[in-house]
Structure 1
Amino acid sequence: MSTPASTTPTATTPTARGSSVLTVAQLAAALPGALRKLDPRELLATPVMLVVEVGAVATTVMSVLDPSTLGWLVTLWLWLTVVFGTLAESVAEGRGKAQAASLRELQTETPARRVRGAAGALPHTDTLADLPTDLPTDEVPSTSLHAGDVVVVEAGERIPGDGDVVAGVASVDESAVTGESAPVIRESGGDRSAVTGGTVVLSDRIVVKITSEPGQSFVDRMIALVEGSERQRTPNEIALNVLLSSLTVVFVVVCGSLYFLADHSGAHQSPLVLTALLVCLIPTTIGALLSAIGIAGMDRLVRRNVLAMSGRAVEAAGDVDVLLLDKTGTITHGNRQAAELLAVPGVTSAELAEAALLSSLADETPEGRSIVTLVGGAVATPPGATFVPFSAATRMSGLDLPGRTLRKGAGSAVAQWVHSTGSPAAHPSVAAIEAHVQHVSESGGTPLVVAEQVGSAPARLLGVIHLKDVVKDGIRERFEELRAMGIRTVMITGDNAVTAAAIAREAGVDDVLAEATPEDKLALIRREQQGGRMVAMCGDGTNDAPALAQADVGVAMNTGTTAAKEAGNMVDLDSDPTKLLDVVEIGKQLLITRGALTTFSVANDVAKYFAILPAMFVVAFPDLDVLNVMRLSSPESAIVSAVVFNALVIVALIPLALRGVAYRPASASALLQRNLLVYGVGGLVAPFLGIKLLDLVISHIPGL
């Protein structure tokens, strides 16, 4: 079913995966933001780059007072080093702002038909059939809606705000938010009642109770988060910043001491050269890219349709050991579906299929619709038919035709009805039915028995409909990937142990907690955490909210209830529990990327040491020439080459910071070994090559 042209979202979905290649257009767009970040108050959050800016100011003053080619070149590239550092963060933020811009298109003023009077004026019912067809409504702008207001939304209309469906069922196009083209079903009751403002109703009519105040909708929160305005620094990021700041202080002291050491040894060094040395030795590479790495981590999650409420949650995902998943709506689709028809001896498959279809024509439950689908589609209602709706008292539904009666329902209820028509209790079909019921129950399914009475003759049992929780496609393979990462999966369900075990075998989880209450889920998470494990929880129901709040990483399904989404620290817009695989990969990417670039930055410093230190003291101590392994042209050329390389390497590594280091399942020691071999050795070799090539060019500049 297509969306009406007037309501089709035209914004490019913010969840499209963007390229990690850094383009000239991206740099140009990010440059104004980078220049604004030169404000020292902005740089207080990155002390390494603040020191570089102070150094750039100092060399500027020195170059004005005592102009020289060396002075102006060092000054220029120190300023560029600061700009490149702020540029990395600005590029990362710019990607989020581009996503936010498309999200804002969902916030256009939408007319809303608000039910007149207070929310309590809506009759307490879960079905539209019991509501007046002419509910009194007032047309108001969506921005005037408040939590508790009730609105009516029909096919072709945009839902004016976040809320819960309190009556009706409808097909909803959520592509503008999730990027998924397939419509989803939203209905009152259960865990599929939540709707998001800006999405479009494709069919039928629903009544929605608004749950958010103006400016506090889900889309508003997404915009704020992807723009980075609410991004909090994670403990790991803070700890790394403390380390970088400590190293910077150490090198400030060292370079300050070198001034007096050089003066005492007769190799007097100007403050300009010492400033260049300081900037080259402090960890400017990781200092410049640290913020960009954190922002890009959250950005990569959004591109995979996962909204993280904090950087801390993304980082914690990288260390997850245990994943707890609610069964219904998370591992399974949430509605029992007809899987097969089991006829008793003497009844053909066609006879059972016809009876199952006719008795399900008026059954609008997901189970009833699945029976119609399994048999082969709907048929016209026979003339003179009287539908018998399901009731809790009879535990049956069915169809009354002239001269023929059909019933479908729980085994004991249908058996009692059959006996009431005069059929003997010891009829051979009874044993066959009991065998089918036992088989279905032991496999974790739900049996529905079908029976038929023709005329006034005793009714007869026709067979059993096997209803089962349908496991989501591909979930077993994803769990195997999680297992390869060292993550243990635990399915949590309120079902009995037999049903839970059957679903667990089919889904491929490692462990099961059956007949679980919200308290049981909470206790399990606390036990795992007390054992030193990091726990992630996926859920979608209100009963999952306490566990989602307790877990280190709580991923709520977007199809779930408002309570679940507010309790978790992540929301999966695709409602795919195996998306945690992506979340874990990105969390590990975040940690590994920081480690890799820190290793590269420290290794860089070693190489730059060999470039500048010999050049500074070789005149006074000729024996130091042995350290000039790159055979640089002159002390001045060596200093400028090192400063230029120090600036350019930041730009070269921005794409890696945005994309993240590729994650492959491996042990911590293997990851450390790879970091040392790739980024440690690379960090040593690259400066030697880069500085030498720059020296070949810079040495030809007049005045050096």
Structure 2
Amino acid sequence: MTNSKNLISKELFTTSLLDAVRKFSPKYAFSNPVMATVWIGTFLLLLQIFYYWSSKVPFQNELPIFFWLLVTLFFANFAESVAEGRGKARADSLRKTRSKTISKKVDSIGDLNYKEIISSELKINDIVYVKAGDTIPGDGEVVLGIASVDESAVTGESAPVIRESGGDRSAVTGGTRVISDHLYIKMTTKPGESFIDKMISMIEGATRQKTPNEIALGIVLFALTILFLLTVLSLIPIANFVGNEIGQNWNFRFSVWLAIFICLIPTTIAALLSAIGISGMERLIRCNVIAKSGKAVEAAGDIHVLLLDKTGTITLGNREAHRFYPTLGVSEEELADASQLSSLSDETPEGRSIVVLAKQKYAIRERNLNSLDVRWIPFSASTKMSGVEIYENGKLVRNIRKGASDSIRKYIESLGGTVPESIQKISDEISKKGSTPIFVTEGERLLGVIELKDIVKGGLKERFSTLRRMGIRTVMITGDNPLTAAAIAAEAGVDDFIAEATPEAKLKRIREEQTNGYLVAMIGDGTNDAPALAQSDVGVAMNTGTQTAREAGNMIDLDSNPSKLIEIVEIGKQLLMTRGALTTFSIANDVAKYFAILPALFLPLAPLNIMHLSSPDHAILAAVIFNALVIPALIPLSLRGVKYVPKSPDSALLRNFLMYGGGGMVFPFLGIKLIDLIISGGYL
């Protein structure tokens, strides 16, 4: 969360002051109905001041009341300007990454003859070639190659990511930089429509996005304003009647009635309402999450069920070699040596991890096979095997295969061999743990098993436990078999799982939960997650995922960290709690102001003037000053948000009522009395 000391920088403070002055224009003033009534009242008071001045009518409290009403409007504008400015600062930093770069356009995939053009001239489906040191000119899909890409300009993270053709790691973002190898990329967006452009427009469009709850609260506040206007107007004939009965002139001036009205209506929450909503989205941005709408942020605070795709979300996405299990009569080092030999031509992440594990455990280095007659057996989807055949003087001396257990079993049996029962038991145990057994054989002799393990991202179990305390159920969705799914679900600490899930099954589960009245959040990164992301109330797409997934979600996690949902939920709950807390404070504050100043204004209520305010004029002026100053005092809270503590809704409601409702009742008495002492002492 944002540190309170860094809520407003010097530069932001200056630009917000200027923007607050600009918002005095009716174009901005009338976008907030409650503050629009303050604007109208202030304008009418200004006209009366000009009339008094031209008619030489003596002033009373008109000038100071007019000044403090201007201050009230200014602080309301300032609160909104600060919230907008914090988001725009992030947009400016993103805009710096969107520069015109020179692109190497090619005619076909794999072509090394390229034509250099400005990136803004690229079209959808154009193919570009990028190598180490080049900036990726726009959003696209990798169609050939594998490379490390620095995405720190977008995510803020310094660790590079791997981008490769095929699968769910093929999407690249414009403005990021290639740091090794090369890629051929097919453009998927037009100039000006890249992911960074969309993020900038989403951030800068925050001021125009109002959530249904915010709109509903705005309507309620405006209705209260009309009700209080009628209440204040009704005081005029009542005051005149009572004044005539007791022989006292209570025909107060327009400035007094206006001040009473402004102090009664909910100006505090109305002034801060926009800032609260914008700041909720801005806090998400600081967590490297882009929300496409404020509605998604609010929904995040109320979700009940979280669905997570396993691969790339709960796990790292690539299986890694974890351990060698040799058969009887074979040493583990022999198995490791054969496994590495069969993996030297395997460019998949799994194959590379086998080479690395053999190096780490037995210091087996990649050997030079150029002097030998070597025939590499590439992986085939039909055989589910890969390997190597080594010949000396035209004679086959080593024939190594590695692959799926069923495929290797059939291969061994075709050569007249069998799979030992002990190895089959090891294979079954590996499967039960949620790992994948890979058999390695030399000829008909099975050498052993390699365990490929799905690596669960660190710290997830503790994070899911935190979600459980928040009342959120976690459900893992995977295409794995039930045994594998159960093992990974237990390791990750999720509450439930769906195995062998299809896109239709994911969609069906979300709809079932929503039919039961639950709000559902979905985290995913693949094209097959897109329907579920679109259907869910909160769809969080991983930035490392496909373009389709990012388009379907209503939030994008730039760090691609599924545990980020805890921050998303906390920020959503903060937004709702902050709005509720400040609404409670504002209403209690308005009630207290009237109990404080009315006894000083009307003689029959004098016994209730327990604060002994010095005079009616001072009482009304003190209330107007307090009403203005309470807005900037609450700006830090509206920007930072109420601290979220996992509690039941009833406990949170009671806490808000006691803390903010009670504070709203007490502070006006203290504040108005203090200001009255300052005024009566001639200090103001």
Deviation of the 1:699 alpha carbon: 1.3
| Displacement after TM superposition at 1:335 (Å) | 1.4
User: Contact between 2:207 and 2:278, CA under 8 Å: does it hold in 1?
Assistant: no
Q: Shift of the alpha carbon at 1:72?
A: 0.9
CA contact (8 A) 2:84 2:206 kept: no
Match for 2:404: what amino acid? A
Do the aligned residues in 2 keep the contact of 1:112 with 1:142 (CA within 8 Å)?
A: yes
2:475 equivalent in structure 1: 490
C-alpha offsets along residues 100-142 of structure 1, whole Å, 9 cap, x if unaligned? 11111111110011123xxxxx35xxxxxxx34x2x4221111
Count of equivalent residues: 662
2:293 corresponds in structure 1 to 310
Residues of 2 paired with 1:62 and 1:24: CA distance?
38
Residue 543 of structure 2: aligned partner: 558
Query: Do the aligned residues in 2 keep the contact of 1:228 with 1:295 (CA within 8 Å)?
Result: no
* Runs of 5+ unmatched residues, structure 1: 1-14, 117-121, 124-130, 454-458
Give the alignment partner of residue 584 of structure 1, picking from 551, 569, 585: 569
Q: Which residue of 2 aligns with 1:415?
A: 409
Aligned residues of 2:543 and 2:559 also touching (Cα < 8 A): yes
- Paired position in structure 1 for 2:461: 476
- How much has 1:45 moved relative to structure 2? 2.2
The one of 694, 697, 702 equivalent to 2:675 is 694
Structure 2 contact 467–473 (Cα < 8 Å) conserved: yes
Q: Following superposition of structure 1 onto structure 2, how do residues 447-526 of structure 1 map, counting pairs within 5 Å? A: 447-453=437-443, 459-526=444-511
Structure 1 residues 653 and 100 mapped into 2: Cα distance closer, same or farther (>3 Å)? same
Pick closer, same or farther for the CA change 1:191–1:18 going to 2, 3 Å: farther
Worse-matched range after superposition: 250-259 or 181-190:
250-259
Matched, 1:379 2:366: yes
- The answer for the alignment partner of 2:255 in structure 1 is 272
In structure 1, which of residues 11, 30, 33 is the aligned counterpart of residue 16 of structure 2?
30
* Alpha-carbon distance, 1:315 to partner: 0.5
Distance 1:16 1:602, change over 3 A: closer
Corresponding residue number in structure 2 for 1:593? 578
TM-score under structure 1 normalisation? Answer: 0.91
Partner in structure 2 of residue 538 of structure 1? 523
Deviation at 1:528? 0.7
- Higher mean displacement: 258-267 or 506-515: 258-267
Structure 2: runs of 5 or more not aligned = 244-249
- Asked if residue 617 in structure 1 is aligned to residue 602 in structure 2, the reply is yes
For residue 646 of structure 1, the aligned residue among 624, 627, 633 is 627
CA offsets per residue over residues 343-377 of structure 1, 9 Å max, x none?
11222222212222222122110101111222225
The one-letter code matched in structure 2 to 1:503 is I
Post-superposition Cα deviations, 1:558-616, rounded to whole Å, max 9, x if no partner, equal: 11111111111111111111211111111100000000000110111122102321222
Cα distance in 1, alignment partners of residues 139 and 352 from structure 2: 28
Q: In 2, Cα distance between the equivalents of 1:520 and 1:413?
A: 29
For residues 14-65 of structure 1, give each alpha carbon's deviation from its aligned partner in whole angstroms, at most 9, with x where no partner exists: x998855445553322011111211222222211111111121122222331
Change over 3 Å in CA distance of 1:395–1:23 after alignment to 2: closer
SS of residue matched to 2:611: coil
- CA displacement at 1:223 relative to structure 2: 0.9
Instruction: For 1:593 and 1:368, locate their aligned partners in 2 and report how far apart those are by CA, in whole Å.
Output: 51
Superposed displacement of residue 487, structure 1? 0.4
Deviates more, 1:143-152 or 1:397-406: 397-406
CA distance in 2 between counterparts of 1:507 and 1:701 reads 68
Name the structure 2 match of 1:400: 389
- State the shift of 1:422 in Å: 5.2
Change (3 A) 1:18 1:107: farther
Give the counterpart of 1:666 among 624, 643, 647.
Answer: 647
Q: State how far apart, in whole Å, the 1-side matches of 2:261 and 2:225 are.
A: 8
Distance 1:645 1:112, change over 3 A: same
Deviations 1:132-165 (A, max 9, x none): 4x2x422111111122111111110000001111
The letter of the residue matching 1:452 is E
Given that 1:603 and 1:684 are in contact with CA atoms closer than 8 Å, whether structure 2 keeps it comes out as: yes
Could you tell me how far 1:71 is from its partner in structure 2? 1.3
Say which of 20, 35, 43 aligns to 1:57: 43
- Which residue, 86, 93, 96 being the options, matches 2:84? 93
Map 1:131-530 onto structure 2 (within 5 A).
Answer: 131-132=110-111, 134=112, 136-228=113-205, 231-266=208-243, 267-376=250-359, 378-382=365-369, 383-384=371-372, 385-401=374-390, 402=392, 403-421=397-415, 423=417, 425=418, 430-453=420-443, 459-530=444-515
Q: Cα distance 1:67–1:387, how it changes in 2: closer, same or farther (>3 A)?
A: farther
- The CA distance in 1 between the partners of 2:412 and 2:202, in whole Å, is 61
Match of 2:63 among 64, 72, 75: 72
Q: Does the residue aligned with 1:106 lie in a helix, a strand or coil?
A: coil
